[in-house]
Amino acid sequence: MPELPDIEAYLEALRRTAVGHVLERVRIGSPIILRTVDPPVAAAEGRRIAGVRRIGKRVVLELEGGLFLVVHLMIAGRFHWRARGARIPARVGHAALDLDQGTLLLTEANPTKRASLHLVRGEAALAQFARGGVEPLEADLAAFRAALTRESHTLKRALTDPTLFSGIGNAYSDEILHRAGLSPTRLTRTLGEEESARLWRATRDVLGEWTDRLVDEARERFPEKVTAFRPQMAVHGKYKQPCPVCGSPVQRIRYSENEANYCATCQTGGKLLADRALSRLLGEDWPRTVMELEELQR
């Protein structure tokens, strides 16, 4: 799922390609994408795009006259910038926004089709999409810690909860926790002041560095290959690969539709976190440490 740095990169590209131009036509290729009927989507046509903004993981296109197009890309939704009047791709194509100098395509390479497009009128209607989480790049340490400890959750769950923190998902939460040297299963209310400050700094550093990197790239070309798995990442998507800090193999735990990637040496004192499926299968044979895992593999 595109997260805060990826969304900011899209916004930078849209400021360069779309803002100030007229939205001439909205073509809907897959009706499931459109989640509102009033105002009708045709009401957006003929209006100039006045600006773009982010609400959590949503992209908002502000149109003249107080209308807003709100897009949630979910896991597999993506934007593509094409020549004016470009065809909506079969199977993965959702919609096309035809501007006076190009076309913005919305696609989703996922059979469940969870991405959404809303057209709303006015700031009050737009506010309904805010989930209440603090902006992690704007929050000071006090605000960050207040959000973190509002409820007793694991750190992984807290960072990815949009009612606590805005724009953080599975990928960057892994990177943040690795940078902070904290276990993804550590409970939020057990962190001391130094650990909370370390997590706050890691959050700002990781998101800031990736935002700067991706926005710089978007200034030169439209981001066509938005992915949660990047070679420069430390642990996310790097299962069994060496940790860039200590060289130990990156571990993972799977749960629901997600997984957490971590370095046992850097984050859990060498302890392997229990994967629900594997630990249930192996029972007492489940290795407790990296050393036991290496012996088992030998």
- Domains of the chain, first to last: 4-129 (3.20.190.10), 141-297 (1.10.8.50)
- Contact indicator for 78, 107 with CB cutoff of 8 Å: yes
Q: Rounded to whole angstroms, what are the CA distances from 207 to 108, 167, 176, 201?
A: 25, 10, 8, 10
What mean pLDDT is predicted for residues 255-276? 88
What mean pLDDT is predicted for residues 16-44? 97
pTM for the model: 0.91
pLDDT at 112: 87
Residue 279 scores a pLDDT above 50? no
Q: Rounded to whole angstroms, what are the CA distances from 241 to 130, 236, 252, 266?
A: 37, 10, 11, 14
pLDDT tens digits, residue range 88-130? 999 999 999 999 999 999 999 988 899 999 999 999 999 999 9
Average pLDDT of the chain to the nearest whole number: 92
Query: What confidence tier does 77 reach under pLDDT thresholds 50, 70, 90?
Result: very high
What mean pLDDT is predicted for residues 187-211? 98
How much of the chain exceeds pLDDT 70, in percent?
A: 91
At 119, give phi and psi (nearest 5°).
-120, 120
Query: What confidence tier does 226 reach under pLDDT thresholds 50, 70, 90?
Result: very high
